[in-house]
Each structure stands twice: as C-alpha cells, then as structure tokens.
Structure 1
C-alpha cells in the first residue's frame, strides 16, 4: 500500500500531481482519504423532509419544462412535479439537454436541496429509477480532481489493494470496545450501507486515530520525564519559605499546589516540561518568581521570555520589586537595548553576575550565553515557535522548562496539544479581587458609553477601546480604529486619546503603551495588540467595538486588561443584536468571568483549529476524529496509551507489533531529542 498512487489503474502523472495537493501520495493515502459527507439517494416522503435538507424525491411530471438562458452558457430549467399530492418545482441549473428528455406524465426521481417554504428543489439532478438508494461518498477536492474520478480511483484501489489493509489493534482491544476490524471500517467509511454501519466504522477509526496520537504523546512524555540529562536542584528551604512569608499577600491554595508541583520537578533529576495555566489575574507571576528564586538559591540562573518589550519591562519591574530586599541580580534584554547596555548585560550574564534575565526573543539570539542556566520560563508560550523555545533551552546546562499561559485551555485540548507535558492549573482567584462587570450594548449607544468613560477619566481612571480592523474594508462593515479614534477625539476634546495598531513601528507602539501606562494618555484606541499581558492597574473600562467579530477566548483576554487595581472595573461589549454568530458569545460573556468555562464554550463554538489560531495550535491533523465531539474517546485512548507505553508487553509482545511498527514508520521511536 506504500506504492505511489499512480500504481492504481487510471491515475496518470498529471492526476497524481493534482492529488498531491490533497496530500495523497501513496495508495495507502488514497484508501484512507475519507469522505466528509454522503449523498443519500434513497427516496423520501415529502412530509419527512426538513427545510434546506438535501433529499431525493419521486413523482410524476405535471407540466412541460421551462428553459431560460442567462449570461454566457448559463441556463435554468424548471419543471413542476406532483410529489405525494403536492406540486414541487424542480430547478435544474446548466442542464438544458433535460428539456428533450423530461416529458409530462413521466415518473421522475430527482435530488437536490429542498426549500420547504417555496416547495422547491434547487440545484436538482436526475436519478434513474434503477438507483439502489445507497449512500454515495463526497470527498474534499483540490486542483483539477473531479469527484467522479476520485470515486472511481478509490474503488479501483480497494479492488487491487484492499486486501493489504492490516489490523493494528490487538484482539483484546477489539473485543473490549466491540470495534469493527480495520479493513471493514476503512471500506465502510467509503461505502456505508446505512448510517448505523457508518457510525460503527467511524467509531473504530476515531479510536485508532486518537490511540496512535496518544501513544506518540505518552512516549514523548516518558522520554522527557525519564531522560537522565536533567539536573537535580537543591536549595535552602528556609530562605525560600521566608521569601513567600514576606510577600504582601498570602498565596491561594491553588498557587501553593502548583508551586509544590513545580518545585518537585526542579528537585527531581529529570528535566521539567510543564505547562502552567491560570486565568488572567490568578497570580502566575508570583509562582514563577518563587520558582526562579529556588533556582537561584540552587546556584543556577533563570530566564523569563515574553512576547513583547513592554511586557518584558513590566515583568522586570515586578520582579525587582519582589526581590528588592534580597541579593538577587535581575537583568533585562530586548531588541531596543542600547549597544553599551546590551554589551554589559551579556558580559554579566556569561559571567554569572545576573541571576535572572527577562527579555523578548532577543534572549535566543546568537551571542547570548549563560554561565549556568537552570530554569527557562516562557510566558504566553503559544506565541513562540517550538524551534525558538529549543534554541533558548539548549543554551544552558539542560535547564528545566516551564511554559505559562493566561489562555485557560480546556482539558480536551490540554491532553491533545500538550499531552506530552505535565499541566498545572491555578483555578482560584486571589481574595478581594473584584469581578469585572460586563455589559452587552448596541453599537448606537456609543455616545452614552463615551459619557461613561469621561466620568471614569475625571475620577482619575483610564479606558481601552478595542476595534477589530485598522482601516476600512469593502468586505466587512466594521468600525475601524482610525475613524473611531478621530470620533472620540471630537466627542471628548479635553481627554487625551491615543491610537495604536499593528502597522505602527515597534518603537512607536512601545512609546504609546508607555504613555498609557504612565497615564499621559487616558483613552487608548487600539486593535488587539494589547491582548497579551499589558498591566495598567489604573485602567477600569474596556470597550470592545464589533465584539461579535471576536472569539470568546479573545474577548476574555481583552477583558482581563482591566480589573487589575482596587477599583471596580467594567467591560462593555458593543455588538449588533441581529448578529446570530455573536449573540451566544455576548450572552456567555455577561454570564461568567470564569476563563475555563469560557474556553470550553469557545472550543465548542469555534472548534479546535481556531482556538489558538490554526498555525500556532500545535494540534494534529485528524482524518476522522474531532477532539471536541470525541473527547470521551480521547480520554479513553489517553488512558490506554499510557498503560501500553508503561508496560513491558507493549515493547516485547507480538500482539503489539503492528502498533509499534506504525510508530516506527513515523520515526517516533528513533527520536533522540524530544521537543
């Protein structure tokens, strides 16, 4: 089955080239290229059919076909058919030849999209009376590949190579979950006799796909955890405890729990590979500080890498404040560091005179060397590529790695995208933190909202106003940041208003953000560039214009920019109530401030591909499985995979040889370095 796809009869060089666009290179790829839906050509009764459902109907032709031409070579043929006592209009596009073939009184079977309101079937095609009523597969297509050709090639591949589909799963698993054999499941996903058979075939292939993925994840996890190239760190417990006791606030139970998990990793001889997730304002920074301090007490350096320069500066100020009474030397490095300052910082870092360095991706550039890097913490880790994280990690003496994110990740995604990592969750907010009051308003209430902002600025506070686009678009009727900035300046001439968007040079963005942080600007009109980590405790109002154009996770991140001080804060969502896509999200936002609940709802609404952004998600390409819908199977597969990887039988018994071979073919078991 690993032979090139042109081995199948009828597939030439040109067709093979086009199929490569669909990631079909071998006969195996072709056999496992599954349909995304099926055309059901079994004749239905009219009373059973729902509005806009694709359906096959049978009836008697009641009137002569009417044919009209429009445009170049385009036509519309309409014929009325008596179906179950009702006259239904069948509309055939660009099939003028049917005028000669359809006659009054003829028995006609036709298929298309049913419009119940107008009793019409649109985009109809004629089915012959001999149709067996089976489900016909419909595949996603690219290039010049035609559906009829692809169906023929897949049928030919089954005829010549179908017998070579080998079983991967042990008989005990098949029996335990009552799963269909692999060759049958593959065949029936292409050619189900009915929907029940399709469900059984899909259930089998979903489990297999998720099990294979989880076997990879659990193997990575085992290799990472059991790798002996980590360094066990020991420190003075009393000194660390004194640091925690001297904080101006008490740690929450959740902070204590996750810190204990992180410290256990630092102490162990294995390299830490942990994800720390916590909602906006849950107190991840102080946990990170305590972990960095433990590393320093153990004689190692620590590095904190963040996505933006202003965030690096804020973290530097924050850590200097936390360690002001302790002999901890903190350094800062970013792309805008002056030449002399940068040279001095690099010299101190290499000499070990800097204990903790905070910076942007500048930390991973050539020429940045550490004396003894023991702990790397990456904030908002999904904004860095794997290769960037690897470069930083490999600069030091096998450091422990901690990733932090304020985007709460639902369990389903955590065990999929981060299945090879340990996950710590801060699921408790610090005491006394006020809930941000969230309101949903119509866009035409903007004048009232601006009056409210003016009152807040007169009380000494500040506000964000967020827009989805920075300039006019013909395709999207959205208010843009540039126009809105001008409108607010005109409406509130006495209030200093700034404008920030992604097309500004980096130094300009930094300058505007700095002015806002120092209250030189009272209202900041911005695109979503403020989403990550900006900390301005004086800001109490977040207005999000065209809020229906944002996902729940992004709305929650933006809302988290306020509510960081002692004063009551507000989030106002301006969204069109007629927008169906936004209604549910706006309602959810006003109902809860819990980021974990919101992230689960967002995952259900948008799907996994858009949760982080497709390119950054780190999620596998699934042929059959859907990690949201199939989360129960995902959990079962994870448990099964973990047991297998830990068992001697998996590595030695012939029962598991097919699964082992599947992993070997992907190069998993030969990987010396796991990321």
Structure 2
C-alpha cells in the first residue's frame, strides 16, 4: 500500500470536514499524518521535589489534607486552592476557573497533579489532575506528545487520530534504509521508530526513535543532493581546461602581495576542478576582506590560458565598476582584454562590448544581470563566476551558465556560513573556504554605546572628517513601510547634515532608483561626499578604503551577520578603523548580539553564534538559498549525524551497490521519484 497516496479520510473518525481541518496543517495523506511529529512531550513521570526546577512543568503525587477553598473574582472567574503532602513537604495546589473540582477533592485522598512548579512558594498551578487509582496508574510515567495545532484541530483529537492511523496502517510503513546501514548504526526499524516518536514508552526509547529518524531525514536529503550533483556532472560534459602552470605560477608570483595559505588551498581546489572533464560547481566563501577577488582573478587567468573567455556577474553597477578596475589592473598587464557590460552603459558602448564578446576579442567580461540578456552571446565561455550569489535567483544564475558549452561555475559569497549550514544550503556544490585574512590587515575596533552618548559619536565623526576620512551612518528598517523607513533616514540625515556642516553628507534610501543609488555611491567612493547616511544595508563588496568609521544606529535591530557585513565596509585601507554600535537593547538577545560584536571580528565565529541565537530557519540569507525545514533533525544539535549521513550518501552514489543490490530497491525507487518530480518542476 502506498501511504502517500492513501487519503487521510481512510482513517476511522476522519470525515470530509476533519480532512479539511487536517489540510490546514499540511496533512493530506496517511503518510503526512505519520510524519507530523510532536515538537515536545508532557512528562508524567513523578518528580523529586529536591530536584524540581522553578517554573518547569512537573508531575507530583501526594495526599490531600485540609478543606479546599474557592475565591471568586467577578461572576465567572475563580481560584481553587488546597494543600497536599508530598515527600514530607506541604505543597499548595491552585486551579483557576475549575471550582467544580472542590467537591471531588477529599482530605486523605491520594491524587496526581501535573502543572507549573513555583519552587519559591512551594506551589503548583495545576493543569491536569488524576483522581482515580486506575487513572493515575495509567497516566504516571507516560510521555504524552504535544503537536503544533491551530483553532480547527486540538492536540487531544490529533493524538487520538494518529494513534488510530497506526492501528489501521502501521503495518504498511515500508523500510527505506538498507539493512547494512541499520546494522552499522544499530538503528531501529522505520515503522517502530515512527510509532515510538509519537508515543514513546520512555525517554530512552524516544531517544532511539529520534536518532533513527534524524539519520534517515539527513541521509535522504544528502542522498538527493549527491544524486543531483552526479546528474549535473555526468549528464553534461564539462571542459577539461589545459592550464600552463608555469605561466600561472609566474602570474601568482607577480601579484602585489603574497597569497595566504588559505588562498593557496582554495586556488588548488579550483584548479583541480577546472582540469577535470566534469563541470566545476563550487562555492567559494570567505570572510570580509579575505581576498576572494584575487582568487577569482587567478581562476580567470587559468581559464584564459586554456583558451576560454570568462565572465564575472555582480549584483550592482558600482560593484561591477570596482571589480572591473581591479581585474584590469591584475589581468591586462598579462595581455588579457577585460571589458564591462552593464545596463547603465550607452547603447553604442553596449553594442561594442557585445560585439567583442561574440567575436572573442574580449577575454573577460565584468557586469551585472546585463550579462544574461538574450542578445548577449559569447564565442567560447569557459568559466562563470557569480559574486554575492545569494543576491541572484536560481534562474538568473542558470541563464549565465547556459551562455557557454557547460562552462565551469564558481559562486562566491562574503557571508560566512557554518559548515552544517553550508552542506545543507549548498550541499549540491563543492565548498571552498578562505578562513584566513591577509597579513597586515588591521582589525576594526568595535564599541557598543548607549543612545545618550550620541553627541560624542557626532564629535568623533567630525574629527575623522577633519582628518580627511569618511564615515557611514546606517539606520535600520524600523517597519515594513518604505514611508516610515524614509522619514527615519531623512530625519537622521537632516540632523547629521546640520551638526556636521559644512561637511558634505549624502543620503541613500530604498525609494531611490538604481541609477540614483549608484550616483550617490560613486560620489562617496570619489570622496565628494564625506558621510553617507543609509537606510539599506550598504552594498556588500563596496570598497571605499578612505572610509574609517561605521556607525550603526539602533544596532540591536540588525542580525549579527548583517552587523558583521556592515563593519566590513571599513578597515579596507591603511588607517585604523572604528565601528560604533549605538543601541539600547530591550532584550537579552539584543544585548548578546552587541557583546558578540565587541568580542570578535571572526566572521565564522559570528556566523556560528548567529546560528545559535536565531536558529537555522532565520539564519541570515540561508532561507532564500533553499535551506530545508527538517521535521526531526536540528542542525545545531545533530551536526555529527549530518556529517556521517553526508559521507554515507556520497559513498553510496559513487558505488555499484546502490544500483545492483536488492536491499537498495526502496532507495532506487525514492531517487527515481525525486528525479521525475525534478523534471516536472524544470
């Protein structure tokens, strides 16, 4: 029986009305019902009062004494109290709006109660009470599943419905993992694990059930990624670049600064990929200022030595201009022709650039999304590099790849991502990491100040401007409203412009047209504007070496990764730089963010702390990158399992047993279904 195709109405007690209610939770089939796991359990094991934590839910059993009393508040609200002897201690029990229990509570009676424990007052706010001996015997020691529900579905009804589904269809749950993996990791069978994850008989059984389902979930996800990568690489023949390593080594030796060990490592990884006949699909991630552009230049030069054109796509025209300037300086002395192609170019310039690409007169092109327009053709595109890849959609990145005959692809990002996030968000790519900054780069001094010292911040900016330096002042997006956003920026801009006069202050906000934004940034980069007030995050990658001050107003409204990116806009020149976080955090999380920013400048450490504070679902930038929402697995808690599952999936896809052995038939069918679904989406 295919439980995915078995409608939930097949479960006794679920009619069309109830089916609609379940559909509101995303439950349509019996398989969906089985996979709708609880997010926590009510623990009905009897607690030891000496170990019971304050404000936690616990279960107690004891003997009542004295007479219960009821106090009324108005006509309908009541507070029922009585006392109970538990483990030699007198405990107060409180029920709200359950006055009808008064006549059922008798002195000398043994009862069991469950609720929130106040250790200071030796008092429990009772949520559940079990009066009969039979009821207590049945309930004590149980772990009761609690599900995420809505107004249409109650936890108790869903609990009963899932139990009924197991009675009817539990025997139809098919095993999907081969016996070899079950034996290797001592995993319980799938049907038993699913049953015990809903209705564990004890914590150890529940833990083992979860261990089995976490591994399955992560393994199947990684298997899907490995399979997708295999199809990508084997079904589309790539370019086996023939690289003159002698000339490439000479190019690297002539760079104005030596490569770091991390840069050398990732260059070797990239070159190894480029020389293979399979297409390179690699993500290069590195902290702000780690030297990704130089690595890109080396890859583009190697691509040229193999006889191919290269393209670098960036999200904005100002970034395109800066990368064009950098690559011209590095590559043109070696005889390469480097050109730009952006939407802001004049029609004649664009036609000339497109003609050079088509005829092969240009070796490298740097541009915005203009590179992927239909009219743009390349003579022999061999390498595509996308900078700040998360700023482009999947379709946009794919269009540039299609401009050549399966060119190698290198994605770059300056948003450091912890390894567990990288191998889920970008699991179908190889990941290279530059985890070292170039020697001599000064760390940015970071300070957290309260808003009442704002006048001193203004004085500091003024002093820096008098020394011919520049500053950024960033305002947060206060509401999802451009109007409010704009008013906030405008008021800060006007205040700063008045206080710093005659220093020239610029303004950048969300309602500006792209051309206006680029013009403001050009003025700032040219030092025609000394202070830039902005409501939006200043473009990642913008390089203004003369800027030495970054002020972030209401800094607690930003995530850690955003704050780190903003801080990376300064400290790019030879002068000492400062980041000032102005904030009066209203929450402990806000305080912790400020503390982290002042303690470290390591982007990978900040990314790890950000993941801890915000959780995988809200981690900066990853949701738009396609990080999955796992039903059971937790990327923080289950890092080791993820690594193991990934290695297992990688080995299996490369081996013959997946395609030949009988016990792998369910996995083959699962991959076939995935492949069919992917082709439908495409």
Instruction: Give yes or no for TM over 0.5.
Output: yes
1:642 Cα deviation from its structure 2 partner: 1.8
1:614 Cα deviation from its structure 2 partner: 5.5
> Does the aligned pair in 1 maintain the 2:312–2:367 contact within 8 Å?
yes
Task: Describe how 1:455-470 pairs up with structure 2 within 5 A.
Answer: 455-469=463-477
| Cα distance change of structure 1 residues 567 and 158 upon mapping to structure 2, 3 Å threshold | same
| Alignment match of 1:429 (pick from 431, 437, 441) | 437
Task: Describe how 1:145-544 pairs up with structure 2 within 5 A.
Answer: 145-227=153-235, 229-469=237-477, 480-544=488-552
Residue aligned with 1:200, SS: helix
> Does the aligned pair in 2 maintain the 1:471–1:482 contact within 8 Å?
no
1:202 Cα deviation from its structure 2 partner: 0.5
| Alignment match of 1:588 (pick from 591, 596, 600) | 596
Aligned to 2:92: 88
Aligned to 2:70: 65
| Cα distance change of structure 1 residues 367 and 121 upon mapping to structure 2, 3 Å threshold | farther
Q: Which runs of 5+ in 1 are unaligned?
A: none
| Alignment match of 2:20 (pick from 4, 17, 21) | 17
1:92 Cα deviation from its structure 2 partner: 2.2
Count of aligned pairs: 668
Q: Which runs of 5+ in 2 are unaligned?
A: none
**Structure-2 separation of matches of 1:542 and 1:119:** 52
**Structure-2 separation of matches of 1:119 and 1:525:** 55
Tell me the TM-score normalised to structure 1 length.
0.92
Residue aligned with 1:667, SS: helix
Cα-to-partner distance string for 1:530-565 (whole Å, 9 max, x where unaligned): 151111111111122222232222221111111100
Residue aligned with 1:564, SS: coil
**Structure-2 separation of matches of 1:303 and 1:9:** 60
Residue aligned with 2:365, SS: strand
More displaced 10-residue stretch of structure 1: 641-650 or 109-118: 109-118
> Does the aligned pair in 1 maintain the 2:311–2:384 contact within 8 Å?
yes
1:97 Cα deviation from its structure 2 partner: 5.0
| 1:55 is aligned to 2:42 | no
1:410 Cα deviation from its structure 2 partner: 1.4
Aligned to 2:618: 610
Cα-to-partner distance string for 1:488-536 (whole Å, 9 max, x where unaligned): 2333233222222223332222222122111122121223421511111
> Does the aligned pair in 1 maintain the 2:236–2:406 contact within 8 Å?
no
Residue aligned with 1:521, SS: coil
> Does the aligned pair in 2 maintain the 1:65–1:80 contact within 8 Å?
no
| 1:659 is aligned to 2:658 | no
Cα-to-partner distance string for 1:568-602 (whole Å, 9 max, x where unaligned): 11112223366411333323222222212222222
Cα-to-partner distance string for 1:86-132 (whole Å, 9 max, x where unaligned): 35252425x56556766777655443333444555447344444142
Tell me the TM-score normalised to structure 2 length.
0.91
**Structure-2 separation of matches of 1:606 and 1:328:** 46
| 1:33 is aligned to 2:41 | no
**Structure-1 separation of matches of 2:607 and 2:121:** 41
| Cα distance change of structure 1 residues 392 and 76 upon mapping to structure 2, 3 Å threshold | farther
1:201 Cα deviation from its structure 2 partner: 0.8
> Does the aligned pair in 2 maintain the 1:334–1:361 contact within 8 Å?
yes
Residue aligned with 2:659, SS: helix
| 1:7 is aligned to 2:7 | no
| Cα distance change of structure 1 residues 107 and 362 upon mapping to structure 2, 3 Å threshold | farther
1:306 Cα deviation from its structure 2 partner: 1.2
> Does the aligned pair in 2 maintain the 1:92–1:124 contact within 8 Å?
no
> Does the aligned pair in 2 maintain the 1:553–1:598 contact within 8 Å?
yes
> Does the aligned pair in 2 maintain the 1:351–1:370 contact within 8 Å?
yes
More displaced 10-residue stretch of structure 1: 129-138 or 579-588: 579-588
